[in-house]
Amino acid sequence: MSTETTAPADAAAKLTDGYHLVVDALKLNDVQTIYGVVGIPITDVARVAQESGVRYIGFRHESDAGHAAAAAGFLTKKPGICLTVSAPGFLNGLVALANATTNCFPMVQISGSSERHIVDLKRGDYEELDQLAAAQPFAKAAYRVNRVEDIGRGIARAIRAAVSGRPGGVYLDIPAAVLGEVIDAEKAAASLHRIVDPAPRHFPAPESVDRAIDLLANAQRPLVVLGKGAAYSQADKEIRAFIEATGLPFLPMSMAKGLLPDDHPQSAAKARSLALRRADVVMLVGARLNWLLGHGEPPQWNPAAQFIQIDIEPTELDSNQPIAAPLVGDIGSVMEALIKRTRPDQVRAQTAWQHELAERSAQNTAKMSQLVDADPHPMQFYGALRAIRHVLHDNPHAFVVNEGANTLDLARNVIDMSVPRHRLDSGTWGVMGIGMGYAIAAAVESGAPVVAIEGDSAFGFSGMELETICRYRLPIVVVVLNNGGVYRGDGINTVSTDPSPTTLTLNARHDRLIEAFGGKGYQVSTPAQLTIALTGALMSGRPALIDCLIDPADGTESGHLTHLNPRGVGEQ
């Protein structure tokens, strides 16, 4: 009787709903930030998150929110969360989810969806789509929650799947009806759980470790290749300890730069081609033998090379070359085991090999200096990158985001890194559009300044997020290397007055875009001006964009990937 006379406010206090449960479940699993775009049916998830102390970063396009979540996952080793609306919003986020899976970054895309009983009979609902089926091929795992009491289980399962083993993108579908479903608060609280040990350690067998050590010990020209899996693993100390104790030369893939500083005496980065062509035993640490490493094939590689591969994903091994010594496990545990089981002086780089690499590095550094130090007018890529390198040298804790074709290929070589996980780029897919999303995540997750080095075409894919950057007052400086085109700005159409397919607006004022939202814009045409602008922008800690006018005739079609363009008739 007394319960029936309870005041309505008290009765309501004992109830909760799907919106609150989603946020409670995320909070319980240490989620601090959600990246997304609101609308039916998920707007209240964002509101409740904010009220509960979970930060919500609202974007202008789901692709950018998804890329931000993925980058947050890479930087923190916890799945980044992206929130999207039904059908079109969901699909907009899917590129980022697929990209995260391809790059082995942990993220969870949580999407609202429309009424199941209408969608499944294809009766034509508002934003109708069978999202679970659509997400499946692009995600590491995909799940749907059909009852409010399963929200906790669904979120636990999604987080576990994203971050354990090889990390990847996970899709979690929550229909509108489930979000609005009301449930007894006590029952709801009991339905949530906190995941214990989300990414358990995975130790290699001692005999696998000894097999790898034997190979290294008998090598004449050993080489360690560090990939972004090594950066992700946060085993910085162990990796450095093993490499320095053995003296092995190492080569960082682009997002592993800074794991050991690029000016480290054992870095073979400046003798990359020689190192690949000559190495006889190669230890891959969180790096796949995919296209970025020429599939391990000659002539780029020594045909007699033997491979040791450290990876958490057993099916990765032998995908391209026979792996003589597989080391399946998490990189931290594997490196620890290698350190423990290697006898003093058992593994050492041969002096002749060290000299060979050092000599080539010196030659290549001299060649590179000539290119970088030249001062042509109008400014070219190398001159602009020299200025950026100079400023970043004084700001080693700034994050670098990098996309474009020439802008990516040249900056990767010119801009040295000295801190782990401070470089984010187009990655395994070579995708354009990651720029502003990655930059926003780096700034939000770290509070540190970010310099996004962007081709003018690449920038356009996520450019509207300048508004997001300004709205949240993030310390991001976008540097647009503006040569007025996709690759180059001097494309010609000989048959009509339309611009050529690679042409963009020449001398476009990208700097004015950020001013529309209250940020600071600069336009520069010399390296000296760029140095001053970038130094000032970083010192201010405010959102800024520097438009750098680059010679439209500088750059190569597709950058370093020209050879991947299929040749048609008449182009033999």
Q: Name the site residues for ligand TPW (rule: CB under 6 A).
A: 404-407, 430-433, 455-458, 481, 483, 486-487, 555, 559
**Position 312 contacts ligand ADP (CB under 6 A):** yes
Residue 229 or 455: which CB sits closer to ligand ADP? 229
Residue 16 or 208: which CB sits closer to ligand ADP? 208
Q: What are phi and psi of 253, to 5 degrees?
A: -70, 170
Residue 225 or 357: which CB sits closer to ligand ADP? 225
> Would you state the structure tokens that stand for residue 226, as one six-digit string?
């560090």
Residue 516 DSSP code: T
Pick from ligand ADP, ligand TPW, none: which does 538 bind, CB < 5 to 8 A by kind? none
Could you say which residues in the range 325-344 bind ligand ADP, by CB under 6 A? Answer: 330-331
**Position 317 contacts ligand ADP (CB under 6 A):** no
CB 168 within 8 A of CB 139: yes
Residues in CB range of 265: below 8 A, 6 or more apart: none
How many residues sit close enough to ligand ADP to count as binding (CB under 6 A)? Answer: 24
**Position 269 contacts ligand ADP (CB under 6 A):** no
Q: How far is the CB of 306 from ligand TPW (least distance, A)?
A: 34
Q: Which stretch binds ligand ADP (CB under 6 A): 133-141, 227-235, 344-352, 371-379?
A: 227-235
**Position 316 contacts ligand ADP (CB under 6 A):** yes
Give the span between the Cα atoms of 341 and 339, in whole angstroms. 6
Residue for token pair 């970010």: 450
Cβ burial of 351 (10 Å; 0-12, 13-18, 19+) is: exposed
Residue 154 or 435: which CB sits closer to ligand TPW? 435
Strand 306-311 vs strand 323-328: parallel, antiparallel, or unpaired? Answer: parallel
**Position 100 contacts ligand ADP (CB under 6 A):** no
Pick from ligand TPW, ligand ADP, none: which does 433 bind, CB < 5 to 8 A by kind? ligand TPW
Residue 49 or 256: which CB sits closer to ligand ADP? 256
Pick from ligand TPW, ligand ADP, none: which does 481 bind, CB < 5 to 8 A by kind? ligand TPW
Q: How far is the CB of 269 from ligand ADP (least distance, A)?
A: 13
Q: How far is the CB of 474 from ligand ADP (least distance, A)?
A: 26
> Would you state the structure tokens that stand for residue 141, as one six-digit string?
């795992």
**Position 408 contacts ligand ADP (CB under 6 A):** no
Pick from ligand ADP, ligand TPW, none: which does 232 bind, CB < 5 to 8 A by kind? ligand ADP
Q: How far is CA 204 from its chain centroid?
A: 27
Q: Which stretch binds ligand ADP (CB under 6 A): 152-160, 224-232, 496-504, 515-523?
A: 224-232
Q: Which stretch binds ligand ADP (CB under 6 A): 57-65, 221-229, 353-361, 402-410?
A: 221-229
Partners of residue 57 on adjacent β-strands: 35
Q: Which of 147, 179, 184, 188 is CA-nearest to residue 43?
A: 179
Q: What are phi and psi of 569, to 5 degrees?
A: -65, 140
Interface residue with ligand ADP among 142, 172, 253, 398 (CB under 6 A) is 253
Could you say which residues in the range 146-185 bind ligand ADP, by CB under 6 A? Answer: 166-167
Could you say which residues in the range 270-309 bind ligand ADP, by CB under 6 A? Answer: 286-288, 290, 292
Residue 125 or 456: which CB sits closer to ligand TPW? 456
Give the span between the Cα atoms of 33 and 154, in whole angstroms. 18
Strand 169-175 vs strand 141-144: parallel, antiparallel, or unpaired? Answer: parallel
Cβ burial of 352 (10 Å; 0-12, 13-18, 19+) is: exposed
Residue 500 DSSP code: P
Give the span between the Cα atoms of 312 and 227, in whole angstroms. 13
Residue 36 or 455: which CB sits closer to ligand TPW? 455
Pick from ligand ADP, ligand TPW, none: which does 456 bind, CB < 5 to 8 A by kind? ligand TPW
Residue 415 or 458: which CB sits closer to ligand TPW? 458
Q: How far is the CB of 237 from ligand ADP (least distance, A)?
A: 14
Q: Residues of 49-76 as b/e, b for ≥16 C-beta within 10 angstroms? A: beeeebebbbbbbbbbbbbbbbbbbbbb
Give the span between the Cα atoms of 62 and 399, in whole angstroms. 23
Q: How far is the CB of 420 from ligand TPW (least distance, A)?
A: 26
Residue 98 or 213: which CB sits closer to ligand TPW? 98
**Position 127 contacts ligand ADP (CB under 6 A):** no
Q: What are phi and psi of 37, to 5 degrees?
A: -135, 130
Neighbours of 562 (CB within 10 A): 11
Residues in CB range of 341: below 8 A, 6 or more apart: 206, 209, 210, 213
**Position 84 contacts ligand ADP (CB under 6 A):** no
Residue for token pair 């450290």: 310
> Would you state the structure tokens that stand for residue 186, as one six-digit string?
């006590």
Interface residue with ligand ADP among 46, 71, 104, 161 (CB under 6 A) is 104
Give the span between the Cα atoms of 139 and 124, in whole angstroms. 26
Residues in CB range of 566: below 8 A, 6 or more apart: none
Q: What are phi and psi of 367, to 5 degrees?
A: -60, -45
> Would you state the structure tokens that stand for residue 330, as one six-digit string?
């998490």
Of all residues in the shown chain, the one whose CB is closest to ligand TPW is 455
Tell me which residues touch ligand ADP (CB under 6 A): 103-104, 166-167, 227-229, 232-233, 253, 255-256, 286-288, 290, 292, 311-313, 316, 330-331, 428
